[in-house]
Structure 1
Amino acid sequence: MNDFSNVSSTLSLQGFDLPPGTIIPAFIFATLGYIFIVFCNLGLLTTIIVNKSLHEPMYVLLLNLPINDLIGSTALFPQIIKELLWDTRTIQFSSCVTQAFFIHIYATGAVFILTAMAYDRYVAICRPMKYNTIMNNAHLMKIISLVWLSNILMIAVLFILLLRLPRCRSLLTHTYCDNPSLLQLVCANTTINNIYGLMTVAVCQVITIGLIVFTYIQILIACFRNKRSDTRSKALQTCATHLIVFLIFECLGLFTITSYRLADISPHLRKFSGIAAMILPPALNPIIYGLKTKEIRTKASKFFQQRFNPS
């Protein structure tokens, strides 16, 4: 247990344990799923970038969501597709750490971006007369910089703490690489890593959920005070869309994190929740925001009509 010199740089993944007859359908489903996610998120990204009328704080913040979704999907899907296509369950340690790093960037980034978007909606609905003053370009860039820099710094420290520890195992008990799975390969004291990991999760959850609960309570109060039914309806629809996306991600993400600390939970359920947390939000986000946000839906429709039906 103390001889780390012969530890292989190639790690073994537990895989999906699929019956032989389901491997090809699973490969097709994974490939089409990745193509769908990339197409939809690039479509949302392109729609916001090319339309100057969408260069408003709400849509500039939203722009970060498909970028983040593409980071998470690209970190996950190529490895899964490779595993299904070549029937291999191995991955290089360096590739595993890289995958885990970007998966954690995606997970933390999603929560931070959704919180920033909730703050924007709070200012727009509760302080509409000062919205342009508060959400000016300088303030908007500060919010976006804070989201990404705090995310990258937090995850970088998490993996610096991980990489300082020696490994004596090479079997990952998960279908993809993440920090908890990599920690299980370590034969050393991981107390500092566990404390830091739990602390960052707790702090992020308290701050993000606290801000979102506060903003939505204020938004609901402002909406019910507003006598114009059309304004109130539009505000509630926008917030409901945002809340659905946040709840889907939070439920899947928290269950996945908790599952690592529950010994009695089914490993198949852990695999499913982990994969669902990586697949469902990137697939649903562009659909939910594209279909529920009239401005984006209209601009996207015009954009694709001009590209595929110029006449």
Structure 2
Amino acid sequence: MFKTVLKQLSPAGERGRLSVLIFHRVLLEPDPIFPSEVDATTFDAICRWMKSWCNVLPLDLATQQLQSRTLPERAVAITFDDGYADNRTVAQPILARYGLPATFFIATDFLDGGRMWNDSVIESVRGCTLAELDLSSLAKPDGSGHLGRYALDTLPEKRQAIESIIGHIKYLPVVARKALAEQIAVCAGVQLPNDLMMTSQQVREMRSAGMQIGAHTRSHPILAKLGADAAQAEIADSRRLLEQILGERVGLFAYPNGKPGADYSPESVSIVRDLGFDAAVSTTWGASHAETDVFQIPRFTPWDRSKIRFGARFAGNLLRA
């Protein structure tokens, strides 16, 4: 049924539509704090559905065919952001099982033992054994007071604490954001992990397995809040390091966070284009058509667990094109 529907919504050729799925992590087991996060069983089902319903293409080929109006019907590309180690250890073997390509966008500062600021917050709260996390010694970035106290007796309380803290510090400058996240770990009395992200060797292994690697800045900043020179350095330096690791050109880019206006600006798009990238992806929902700006390709992933609901939401996203 879905194959027929998708053929109508995403035909071949002139009226072709490209759906790009976005993922971040694929956990080996469900996360008790964030049970809706994608785990291995869910990702296996999604790959099985994509194999059955769609023509899954490497992103670079898909964007070329999008521009030349030669996309096959039911065209899909699969992407991952940030560079988590479970992309290599959990997701990539599942992709290989179904013979599916994917593109992995790497924030290079976190390779080889680094850690993203939001994971510092998550793991601080997850590992805290206190009934209450007292952050009253830490000032809110907007100067309106301190970060407060958070009850941690239950998993929902831990989830609420994480979401609240991340909301307070998400749009800080990179250095201040990282420093505050590390201070939160001290308050929580937690030793943070250093194995959440891929190593350089794992990036090479992904490429050797046929996966594509794209740039995602060095430190995952809010590009819209950076000056032109700083934004260009973040983008260009991340690509340069990946090219050194892989020994080949890197032509794809993903905007951190990815919402136009809030997270990246028209100037950000111009920088990516001027640096000679082939295409770039956002996190705006929708699907691409021949007139879509290939430096702002939309992405979307249905969050439903059942096949029927996932397929219905997937088809609904195509209607946005």
Please indicate the TM-score interval, normalised by the length of the shorter structure.
under 0.3
More helix, by proportion: 1
